[in-house]
Amino acid sequence: MAIEIHVDHRAAIIIFISGGSILSSDNILISNGVTGEFAFVTPSVWDDLKEDIFEIEEESFSSSLCDSKDDLLKLINSPTSIFIVLRIPSVSRVIGYLAADMLEGFSEVPGITSDPYIDQGKTIYIVSVAIHRDWRRLGLGVATQKECLRVASQRGFKRVTAHIESGAASRMGLGARVLMSFANWYGTGRTFDYVEFSTHLRET
Ligand SMILES: CC(C)(COP(=O)(O)OP(=O)(O)OC[C@H]1O[C@@H](n2cnc3c(N)ncnc32)[C@H](O)[C@@H]1OP(=O)(O)O)[C@@H](O)C(=O)NCCC(=O)NCCS
């Protein structure tokens, strides 16, 4: 199955992965022959990718939401984490990333200890997902999260959860269910929802 995304403002670029192992057998077609693939970020490719990842993170999140470099490094080194990038090697740039790990590792995040499935080892929590601002609104954010659902399911996890801007769940088309809401999330003045994705939805 191929995902087709139309881009009007860019000439054909082939997106492929030169670092990390390729994850999905599905290419992402971004029209005019533009295709993309996702790859795992592992400790061995971290040094090549980290600056691009940090740059996207810093421009995407306010300081109260930014993960520290040490936190991301911890995730890279965790055997249960799912750390994915989408990269354009022709310009040597990562254009998006997603970092996730088992829910039980995030008890300090509001709402996590109230999750009814905490301590059952069946849930992956997406701690951070971002797409470079030049590549947003093309379906790549949803495709990246869908890839996380696919990998989580492959590893035997039954569900994936995340905190996302309130109201976004219905726009994502991944069947997310809102479990809780948090006003003024980390002092941003915005409301975030704690949402649950069922991993079997990866087939939709
Ligand atoms: C959120 C983000 C990853 C979405 O990526 P994208 O490629 O632009 O999104 P898509 O085109 O695949 O998504 C379709 C819609 O779902 C929304 N969406 C998808 N994933 C989302 C998420 N995790 N949180 C909130 N909204 C999301 C998109 O904003 C978009 O809504 P719109 O039609 O009103 O613009 C991107 O806007 C971004 O990097 N934002 C800054 C970082 C951030 O807020 N991350 C999410 C919280 S961890």
Q: What is the pLDDT of residue 63?
A: 79
Name the residue at shortest CA distance from atom 41 of ligand 1: 60
Measured from the CB, is residue 170 less than 6 Å from ligand 1?
A: no
Kindly list the distances between the CA atom of residue 148 and the CA atoms of 15, 35, 155, 194, in Å, as whole numbers in the listed order: 19, 18, 11, 17
Which segment of 1-5, 23-27, 108-112, 181-185 scores lowest on mean pLDDT? 1-5
Mean pLDDT on 138-152:
94
Q: What is the pLDDT of residue 85?
A: 92
From the alpha carbon of 140, which atom of ligand 1 is closest? 7
In sequence order, the β-bridge partners of residue 180 are 194
pTM of the complete model: 0.88
Instruction: Assess whether pLDDT exceeds 50 at residue 19.
Output: no
- Identify whether the C-beta of residue 82 lies closer than 8 Å to the C-beta of residue 152: yes
From the alpha carbon of 164, which atom of ligand 1 is closest? 24
141 CA from centroid of ligand 1 (Å): 6
Output the CATH code of domain 3-203. Answer: 3.40.630.30
